[in-house]
Amino acid sequence: MIATWLSTSYRDFSAEVERIDEMLWEALALEPKSRVLFCGFSQSKTIIERAVANGVRVSLMTTDEREVREARQLGVEVLRGSLLGIPARTEGFYLVVAYHVLHETDPTLHRHIIGEFGRVARRIAIVEPGPPSDLLGSRIASLYARAKRSRGQFEQYQSISYWRELLGRVRSHVVPHEIRFSSIPPKRYLRDGIQLLISSMRVAGAAESDLRDLQGLAENATTQLVPQPRYVLFAGRTPSDIPARPRLAELQRQGAAVTEAARRQPTPVPQPLPRPKPVPIVVESHPSTLLPTPVPVRAATQPTPTPTGPTTLRPRSAPVGDALTDEFADFGLPRDEEESPLAATQSSFQAIFGIPDIPGTTSFDWTD
C-alpha cells in the first residue's frame, strides 16, 4: 500500500529507477550458461545485454526486423514465430521470460500463450506493469489504450492475482513479487515521459483532442504521477525450481526504509486561507420602494384640566425621549411603521450574512 511519497530531485529519482531495475534483475535470477528465451525486446534490452555479458545463452522471440538486427548485434539467437506456437522443442529452455509483452496481447489468448511457455521451458517468469493506482495514471492509460484499440492493438494491465492464477494452471509453485517505487518522479520526469507518450500516441493515430488533454496535464504545475508497480512472477514444477534471491530482499528493505523515512517526516500544518477583501456591493434605492417620510405635526399645547370629582384621571404618558412615537400612536400606527422598508430589508441582509453596518454606501470587496 502506498501511504506516503517523497518529492525527489532528478538525481534522487534516477537512483530510485536504478534500484527498481536492479530488483527486476535479481527477481529473474538468471544463471550463467543457462538457456533463456526472452519474449519482448524493447523493454528488456538492458537486461538482455546484462545477461549476455554474464554468460547467459539468450534467445529472442520476435518478428520485428529492427529488433532482429539489434538482437543479432548483441549475439542473441532470434526465433521468428508466434507466441501461440513457439518454434522450439519441449523444455528446450531453462527459463522463458515474458517481459512487458502480455499486456499488449489479446487477453483471451493469455491462457494459451502461458501454456506454450510451460511446454518449451521448465521455469516461467512474467514481468508486467501493474494497473495505475492514481487518477492521472488511470487517465493516461485509458487514453493510450483507446489510441491502440483504434489500430487493432491492445494495452490492458492486469492484477497480480490474474497472472498468478494463469501460472498456477501450468505450474504448481508460483512466487509473486510486487515491486513499487518509494518516491514520485520530479516534474521533469513527468513532462518528458508524457511528451514521449504523446509521440507514441500520435503515431498510433490518437485523436488530437486526447493529445491536447495530455499536453495540458504535462504543463500543469501541480500534476504528479505515481509510477506503476512492477510484477515479477516466477513459476516452477518444484520448490527447487524457485531460486533464492537474498539480494532482492535487501533491495526491498532499502525501498521500505525510504518510504518509512517519508512517513516520519512531520506533516506540514496547513496555513489558513487569507481573508477575502471586500468587493464593492452598492445597494441602490429605487424611488418606488420608498415610502414618504411622515412629517409630524404637533398639536397646540392644551392646559391640563383640574379634576373636580373624586376620580383622578391620569393622562397617557409617552416613553421618555419618544414623543414622535406617541404622535403616531394617536393615529393607530405601530412604532416600526416610521422605518423605511428598504432599511429593514438591508438590516436583515446584514444580520444573515454577518455584514457590518457601515455608514453611507455599503460596499464589500471579496477579490483577492
217 and 347 share a domain? no
Residue among 188, 212, 186 nearest 198 (CA): 212
For the residues 136-151, what does the mean pLDDT come to?
85
Distances (CA, A) of 185 to 190, 205, 227, 282: 6, 28, 8, 50
76 and 224 share a domain? yes
Q: 256 is in which domain, residue-wise?
A: 6-264
196 and 333 share a domain? no
Residue 117 has pLDDT above 80, yes or no: yes
Q: Looking at the domain assignment, is residue 314 inside a domain?
A: no
CA angle 122, 127, 128 (to 5 degrees): 140
Q: Looking at the domain assignment, is residue 304 inside a domain?
A: no
203 and 340 share a domain? no
Q: Which three cell numbers stand for residue 217?
A: 496535464
Residue 171 has pLDDT above 80, yes or no: yes
Q: Looking at the domain assignment, is residue 172 inside a domain?
A: yes
238 and 279 share a domain? no
For the residues 21-44, what does the mean pLDDT come to?
91
- Name the pLDDT band for 302 (thresholds 50, 70, 90): low
Are 349 and 264 spatial neighbours (Cβ–Cβ below 8 Å)? no
Dump pLDDT digits (tens) for 186-208. Answer: 877 778 878 888 888 887 777 88
For residues 255 and 229, give the distance between their C-alpha atoms in angstroms, rounded to a whole number. 13
53 and 173 share a domain? yes
Tell me, what's the pLDDT at 257? 65
Tell me, what's the pLDDT at 195? 83
CB 52: neighbour CB atoms within 10 A?
A: 15
Are 226 and 141 spatial neighbours (Cβ–Cβ below 8 Å)? no
Amino acid at 75: G
84 and 223 share a domain? yes
CB 203: neighbour CB atoms within 10 A?
A: 10
DSSP collapsed to 3 states, the chain: CCCCCEECCHHHHHHHHHHHHHHHHHHHCCCCCCEEEEECCCCCHHHHHHHHHCCCEEEEECCCHHHHHHHHHCCCEEECCECCECCCCCCCEEEEEEECCHHHCCHHHHHHHHHHHHHHEEEEEEEEECCCCCHHHHHHHHHHHHHHHCCCCCCCCCCHHHHHHHHHCCCCEEEEEEECCCEECCHHHHHHHHHHHHHHHHHCCCCHHHHHHHHHHHHCCCCCCCCCCEEEEEEECCHHHCCCCHHHHHHHHHHHHHHHHHHHCCCCCCCCCCCCCCCCCCCCCCHHHCCCCCCCCCCCCCCCCCCCCCCCCCCCCCCCCCHHHHHHHCCCCCHHHHCCHHHHHHHHHHHHHCCCCCCCCCCCCCCC
> CATH no. for residue 106?
3.40.50.150
For residues 367 and 351, give the distance between their C-alpha atoms in angstroms, rounded to a whole number. 22
If you average pLDDT over each of 133-137, 216-220, 316-320, which comes out highest? 133-137
For residues 284 and 269, give the distance between their C-alpha atoms in angstroms, rounded to a whole number. 44
Are 61 and 158 spatial neighbours (Cβ–Cβ below 8 Å)? no
For the residues 138-165, what does the mean pLDDT come to?
90
224 and 279 share a domain? no
CA angle 14, 20, 24 (to 5 degrees): 145
Tell me, what's the pLDDT at 333? 46
281 and 232 share a domain? no
Task: Please tell me whether the overall predicted TM-score, pTM, comes out greater than 0.75 for this model.
Answer: no
Structurally, the chain folds into a number of domains equal to 2
Q: Looking at the domain assignment, is residue 291 inside a domain?
A: no
Q: What are phi and psi of 23, to 5 degrees?
A: -65, -40
If you average pLDDT over each of 102-111, 342-351, 356-365, which comes out highest? 102-111
Beta bridge partners of 123: 95
210 and 240 share a domain? yes
Q: Looking at the domain assignment, is residue 33 inside a domain?
A: yes
For residues 184 and 258, give the distance between their C-alpha atoms in angstroms, rounded to a whole number. 12
Largest separation between any pair of C-alpha atoms in the chain: 140
Residue 300 has pLDDT above 60, yes or no: no
- Name the pLDDT band for 113 (thresholds 50, 70, 90): very high
Average pLDDT taken over every residue of the chain:
76
339 and 231 share a domain? no
Q: Looking at the domain assignment, is residue 307 inside a domain?
A: no
For residues 77 and 57, give the distance between their C-alpha atoms in angstroms, rounded to a whole number. 8
Residue among 44, 49, 96 nearest 74 (CA): 49
Residue among 26, 44, 29, 152 nearest 101 (CA): 44
238 and 351 share a domain? no
Are 173 and 132 spatial neighbours (Cβ–Cβ below 8 Å)? no
Dump pLDDT digits (tens) for 257-289. Answer: 655 665 565 544 444 545 555 656 655 555 555
Tell me, what's the pLDDT at 192? 82
Within 13 A of 302's CA, how many CA atoms are on the CB side?
6
Within 13 A of 280's CA, how many CA atoms are on the CB side?
4
Q: Which three cell numbers stand for residue 21?
A: 531495475
Dump pLDDT digits (tens) for 57-75. Answer: 999 999 899 999 999 999 9
